[in-house]
């Protein structure tokens, strides 16, 4: 009897058989990265935030209060890549925003790709792709898991903040070209901008934002979380006498940008798409974030993301926080104002997700690609340890020491990312052992003021480094692209390329002020609460993979954070 029943069931058409429950996935994943956001900004500006942005994410979502980067250098390119690949530069190969290529003898840019052409923008801005990333991203894995039916789109003013999160298999990636004031892409993704992107660009949103002065959102006297408006360590805009409010954006943007001028010089003719104004200026204002939010919301609507029966993935990176932080520092009124305005832009994004995708139907995470040190001038003014370490004088000291040891010659080919690239051909010519000279350079650096550690690439690769400064260096080291000697500056000390005049701040170190960033999850199947457990930035991608029931990225070294899941 049982055999007859089983045979009868097997003979039924598929539609007549009882179906199991459908696989539960969010309709949309939104990965938000805030460029140069320190963890403490969440609470520094708490009293000034509205209820719909950061406070909503914290109140309705889950916060990891001790999320850190676990490598150096902490820069934008490696940061975005590590978030979405779930691994460190030692595996994905993005060791900096730029690095020295020994094969060509030149420095390359993180998303530079001369094999592709711009779509909608200039040659310099548009020859970009993710080809330097050596592993898949969580966005790639979603595309693979759905047989490329999911849409994955990256949006950012910076090319690297759009391209690297969107991955190799992205449906699209868009970034901003200040020479024409529009969002562009490259032939890596498509041969022509969609009509809706062309219409968005033609509307002149960037010019509209720059048509009025940048004044504070609140009365300036209420910015009690920030230092006074006029301090010596902030950098004024070109054309300003002082770095103070209001910033006259119509006047400051009145002359063409350097990008426009360079394109006109190269071509010998006026650019037909080029505006008279410097629309690139919007990057250095909070309105660059607002423009990004505008474009992201238009992307949601026009591409019907989260409404097509498949899980889609939108990556949004807000970059103006980084530009403003570099120029004014971490305690400036400009920085606070930028975050207060970003809070409102986040509220717009969350409201749009509720309306378009449905409440609780989108999975959102928010983090940062790195944090930032205090401005050197601020530290000095308050007698705190730290300052600016001149990169050029440090490089020259090493070069001169090598000349004294081994005679004349160009011993250093490049000096960036807190790494020294030696002239290996010269070492061969002089019959010098590589490891010996590397250790000499490490010793020279260790004797310099404000250098906490220096180690040769040979020693770094010969040993395992589970903890300590060398662990950060090992995780950030990829031999074909990294230098021969790596060093770490003392806490509070930052690379000062404009030494001895040091304005604003920067990042890149292994200390907590650069590695400690927010990590918030919100929305679909996210448990409300917080955790003080130490987690790593590389844990984000495998956590999203667990939410989606898909494979983690190919080089993933992080672990799923199951505590956040209902």
Residues identified as active-site: 76
Using the structure block, give the residue that is written with the tokens 């207060």. 340
Q: Give the 3-state DSSP-derived string for 359-401, with helices as H, strands as E and coil as C.
A: CCCEEEEEEECCCCCCCHHHHHHCCCCCEEEEHHHHHHHHHHH
364 φ/ψ angles, rounded to the nearest 5 degrees: -120, 135
Q: Work out the widest C-alpha separation in the chain, in whole angstroms.
A: 95
Tell me the DSSP string of 41-67.
HHHHTGGG--TTTHHHHHHHSEEEEEE
Query: What pairing do the DSSP bridges indicate for beta strands 485-489 and 62-68?
Result: unpaired
3-state helix, strand and coil shares in percent for the chain, rounded to the nearest 5: 40, 20, 45
With H, G, I as helix, E, B as strand and everything else as coil, classify residue 15: helix
**CA dist list (Å): 558 to 132, 434, 518, 553:** 21, 34, 17, 10
Q: At what angle do helices 76-85 and 138-145 cross, to 10 degrees?
A: 40
With H, G, I as helix, E, B as strand and everything else as coil, classify residue 527: coil
Question: Nearest CA to 507 among 520, 482, 489, 485?
Answer: 489
265 close to 294: Cβ distance less than 8 angstroms: no
Tell me the DSSP string of 245-301.
SSB-HHHHTSSPPHHHHHHHHHHTS--TT--SS-GGGGGGSTHHHHHHHHHHHHHHH
Work out whether the CA dihedral 469, 475, 476, 481 comes out positive or negative. Answer: positive
Sequence-distant (6+) residues with CB within 8 A of 63 are 42, 57, 518, 519, 520, 529, 530, 531
């Amino acid at each position: 009897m049982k055999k007859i029943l089983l045979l009868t069931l097997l003979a039924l058409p598929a539609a007549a058989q009882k179906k199991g429950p459908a696989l539960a996935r969010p309709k949309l994943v939104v990965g938000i990265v805030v460029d140069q956001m320190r963890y403490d900004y969440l609470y520094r500006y708490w009293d000034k935030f509205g209820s719909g942005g950061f406070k909503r994410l914290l109140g309705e979502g889950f916060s990891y209060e001790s999320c850190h980067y676990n490598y150096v250098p902490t820069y934008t390119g490696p940061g975005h890549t590590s978030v979405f690949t779930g691994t460190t530069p030692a595996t994905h190969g993005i060791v900096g925003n730029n690095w020295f290529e020994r094969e060509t003898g030149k420095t390359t840019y993180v998303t530079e790709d001369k094999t592709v052409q711009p779509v909608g923008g200039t040659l310099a801005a548009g020859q970009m792709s993710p080809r330097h990333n050596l592993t898949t991203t969580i966005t790639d894995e979603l595309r693979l898991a759905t047989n490329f039916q999911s849409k994955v789109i990256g949006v950012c003013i910076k090319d690297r903040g759009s391209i690297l999160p969107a991955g190799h298999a992205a449906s699209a990636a868009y970034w901003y070209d200040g020479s024409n004031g529009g969002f562009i892409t490259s032939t890596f993704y498509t041969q022509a901008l969609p009509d809706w992107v062309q219409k968005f660009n033609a509307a002149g949103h960037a010019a509209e934002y720059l048509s009025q002065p940048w004044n504070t959102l609140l009365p300036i006297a209420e910015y009690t979380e920030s230092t006074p408006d006029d301090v010596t360590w902030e950098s004024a805009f070109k054309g300003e006498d002082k770095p103070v409010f209001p910033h006259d954006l119509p006047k400051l943007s009145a002359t063409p940008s350097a990008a426009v001028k360079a394109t006109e010089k190269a071509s010998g003719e006026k650019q037909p798409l080029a505006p008279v104004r410097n629309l690139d200026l919007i990057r250095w204002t909070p309105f660059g974030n607002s423009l990004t939010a505008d474009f992201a919301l238009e992307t949601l609507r026009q591409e019907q993301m989260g409404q097509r029966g498949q899980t889609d993935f939108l990556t949004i990176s807000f970059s103006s926080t980084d530009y403003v932080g570099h120029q004014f520092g971490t305690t400036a009124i400009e920085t606070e104002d930028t975050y207060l305005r970003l809070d409102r832009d986040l509220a717009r994004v969350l409201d749009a997700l509720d309306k378009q995708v449905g409440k609780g139907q989108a999975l959102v995470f928010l983090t940062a690609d790195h944090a930032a040190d205090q401005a050197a001038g601020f530290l000095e003014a308050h007698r705190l340890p730290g300052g600016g370490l001149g990169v050029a004088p440090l490089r020259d000291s090493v070069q001169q020491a090598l000349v004294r040891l081994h005679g004349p010659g160009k011993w250093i080919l490049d000096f960036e990312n807190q790494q020294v690239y030696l002239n290996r051909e010269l070492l061969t010519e002089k019959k010098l052992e590589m490891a010996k000279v590397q250790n000499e350079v490490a010793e020279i650096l260790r004797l310099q003021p404000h250098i906490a550690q220096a180690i040769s690439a040979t020693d770094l690769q010969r040993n395992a480094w589970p903890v300590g400064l060398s662990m950060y260096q090992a995780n950030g080291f990829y031999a074909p692209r990294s230098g021969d000697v790596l060093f770490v500056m003392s806490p509070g000390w930052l690379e000062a390329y404009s030494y001895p005049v040091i304005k604003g701040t920067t990042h890149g170190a292994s200390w907590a002020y650069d590695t400690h960033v927010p990590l918030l999850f919100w929305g679909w199947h996210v448990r409300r609460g917080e955790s003080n457990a130490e987690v790593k930035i590389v844990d984000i991608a495998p956590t999203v993979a667990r939410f989606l029931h898909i494979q983690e990225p190919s080089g993933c070294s992080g672990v799923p954070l199951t505590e956040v899941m209902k």
